[in-house]
Amino acid sequence: MPEAETAIAVDYSELIKEVYIDPIRTVIVIDDEFPSLDGLIAKELGEEKPWAGKRDDVEKVRHILDFCRGKEKPWLVDVHDGKKVDADQDEFIAPYLHHSDLVILDYHLEGNDGTGEKAIKILRKLAANDHFNLVVVYTKGYGEPGGDIDRVVREIALGLATPDPTLELLAEEIENLKSGLGEWEIVQEDILKELQDLVSEQTYLSIPTPKGLNCRSISEIPELCTILEKYKNKPKGAKIKFEHLVKWLLGQKEKELLGQLSTTPLGTVSLSKLGEAVNWIRTDRLFVSVVSKSHQPNEIPDKLLCALNEWCPRPHRLLMAKMRSLIDERGVAAEADVLSNHYIQAGWLLELLDSSEQDTLGAISNTINRHWEAMGDALTADIGEFGKKLITYLSAQDPSEIIKLHSPIKDPVADANNITKALNCYISTKTSEGSHLTTGHVLEIMNADERLEYWVCLSPACDLVPGQKTSGWFGRLGNYLPFSVVFLSEVNEKTALAAADQNIYLFLEIDGIIRTFTFNPNGELKSNPSWEQMFALNKGSFVGEERKVNIARLTGDAENLALHSSEAKVVCQLRYEYALNLLQRLGVSLSRIGLDFRNIKREEEKRNR
């Protein structure tokens, strides 16, 4: 990776080190060949036989201790022999692993002739907890010291993977595939075995999901290229879809490996190419690198950093990781800053005490948001310094290379519309919160014609707090709460994207899909919003976890008015400033004044149409 040629040169490796290596403070070493403090104490108390290991192993432990304690910022290190670390029982594993910044784990915890099953169970536990765990598997490998490290990497990756349900084919697809393979076998008797032999464990692990089967992924996996070549030369009578063939072959390999796979989902497993000098394995909460014991203990941090460099986390992941480490490192100081103003704290406490039973969740949410904001402000300067270094590095690189290396979307121009929709959706909406209806909630309502409609609640938030207003019609309506809503007309995304900056279009994620709506009918700036007064039962309080509220809508005929009851579901929520923007637009529309200016020519044109 080229260094940035700027006044202040910044190497990406330095940023990775600052984020992942520098924050390490505690280390746990687990190796059945090492004497542990627990074991030595038990021996002195006569509870355990004297440790019968080799002097070389004791020397290695001493080297680890000396190295960890001799750093500029010393690491607190503990050594455990792994004998009482039962990966199937939380009470044994939790004290040793869940609070360590780095775990150095021997792969064969049951002697050199044993399997890595126990170590893999420990890794599964780490991958399942809520921390980001760094692990160096420090091992002799298989055979000669440092032998067949690739096998260890492969076994760990398989142990963290789970069966892929997308490999399953429909009954009809299986029948068609078998028929096509039968035709192929008539011409090439051993073709089925040839194809199956091409799918190795590495091939299986190289494809996180069959959805990733595109020209690029195929070209990067030699075995798939070979399968593709054979597929192109299949007999004309063999009617087979390449995607179905690959799925089936991967599915057959998965059946062979089933006993090695995890039964609990641990997130997507990604790994380096086998055979490379540096290896890594990654899940959502775990990063593992396998290091041979032929390397000295003081080489472990450099080996780990090399593995992290090869993984090459994206810039925004580095920024988020830096924020996490700063909260851990400077959280107490930031907490002191936040709590230093006693008057503010007293005010926030009074807000909690004054909240009604129905609005407790809203009060808690507001308090949490304010504390997060205050803590963020206290840490902004430190995060900003790291951000400057990150931008210095990025600005010195070729943008096309940065996109190629760090962007999950490899062709931003081709995917510009999806990127724009995702950005606009994120900056204008947030996860729905609160225990009752409030400004910015987007409601999904089934109308009288049994069609789904979408409305945005635009009553002021202070009018929507249950029980806060009891005078006037708020009192006369009893258990009903009046609220104003504006109808959202769905438009095609091309229209919304072309004029997204007009502030009348909304990008809303509903059931996992970003859909585009307009606040003004037909998307015309001069048109007036279509608004309505509705009434929420139980003062607008939500019912159940699906955040539903029972509502009543006015309906009627030439003679009478009536209320039509229905159910509304909150599907998303606008951020407050975006909701206020629409509330202001609604206010302008409702306060418009009709004047008597005339345009005779236009009136005549309308009359003569």
Both 308 and 435 in one domain: the answer is no
User: Counting beta carbons within 10 angstroms of the beta carbon of residue 179, is it exposed (0 to 12), middle (13 to 18) or buried (19 or more)?
Assistant: middle
pLDDT > 50? residue 13: yes
Lowest mean pLDDT among 35-49, 89-103, 364-378, 544-558: 89-103
Both 213 and 344 in one domain: the answer is no
pLDDT > 50? residue 4: no
328-387 pLDDT, tens per residue? 877 777 778 777 878 877 887 777 776 655 556 666 777 777 777 777 787 788 888 888
pLDDT > 90? residue 571: yes
pLDDT > 90? residue 454: yes
SS3 268: coil
d(CA 83, CA 109): 8
pLDDT of 594: 60
Using CA atoms, how far residue 558 sits from 388, 449, 562, in Å, is 67, 20, 11
SS3 313: coil
**Among 496, 542, 553, which residue's Cα sits nearest to residue 519?**
496
Q: Give me the number of domains the chain comprises.
A: 4
Arithmetic mean of pLDDT, 548-561: 83
- For residue 20, being part of any structural domain is answered with no
pLDDT > 80? residue 78: yes
Both 153 and 290 in one domain: the answer is yes
Both 580 and 471 in one domain: the answer is yes
Q: Are 227 and 249 in contact (CB under 8 A)?
A: yes
pLDDT of 8: 47
Using CA atoms, how far residue 271 sits from 200, 203, 207, 275, 286, in Å, is 15, 12, 10, 12, 12
Query: What residues make up the domain containing 394?
Result: 317-408
DSSP states along 425-456: HHHHEE---SSB--TTEEEEEE-TTS-EEEEE
Residue 165 C-beta-side C-alpha neighbours within 13 Å: 2
d(CA 589, CA 96): 64
d(CA 466, CA 541): 7
- For residue 72, being part of any structural domain is answered with yes
pLDDT of 590: 72
- For residue 608, being part of any structural domain is answered with no
Phi/psi at 356 (5° precision): -75, 165
Both 48 and 122 in one domain: the answer is yes
- For residue 11, being part of any structural domain is answered with no
DSSP states along 377-408: HHHHHHHHHHHHHHHHHHHTS-HHHHHHHH-S
pLDDT > 80? residue 210: no
Please name every residue paired with 518 in a beta bridge, in sequence order, or none if there are none. 489, 505
Answer with the one of 408, 436, 452 that is the final residue of a domain. 408
Which of 19-28, 58-67, 97-106 has the highest average model confidence (pLDDT)? 19-28
Answer with the one of 388, 408, 428 that is the final residue of a domain. 408
pLDDT > 70? residue 96: no
Both 122 and 205 in one domain: the answer is no
Arithmetic mean of pLDDT, 174-203: 90
Both 375 and 401 in one domain: the answer is yes
pLDDT of 57: 78
Arithmetic mean of pLDDT, 159-188: 90
- For residue 520, being part of any structural domain is answered with yes
- For residue 18, being part of any structural domain is answered with no
Both 543 and 489 in one domain: the answer is yes
pLDDT of 1: 36
Phi/psi at 5 (5° precision): -90, 75
Both 467 and 554 in one domain: the answer is yes
* Amino acid, res. 108: H
Answer with the one of 374, 408, 442 that is the final residue of a domain. 408
Tokens of 378: 């206290």
- For residue 77, being part of any structural domain is answered with yes
pLDDT-based confidence at residue 261 (cuts at 50, 70, 90): very high
Both 306 and 329 in one domain: the answer is no
pLDDT of 12: 92
**Among 202, 210, 208, 201, which residue's Cα sits nearest to residue 257?**
201
- The region, left, alpha or beta by phi > 0 then psi within -120 to 50, assigned to residue 547 is left
Select the more confidently predicted residue: 548 or 47: 548
Arithmetic mean of pLDDT, 15-25: 92
Both 324 and 299 in one domain: the answer is no
Both 512 and 479 in one domain: the answer is yes
Arithmetic mean of pLDDT, 501-514: 90
- For residue 543, being part of any structural domain is answered with yes
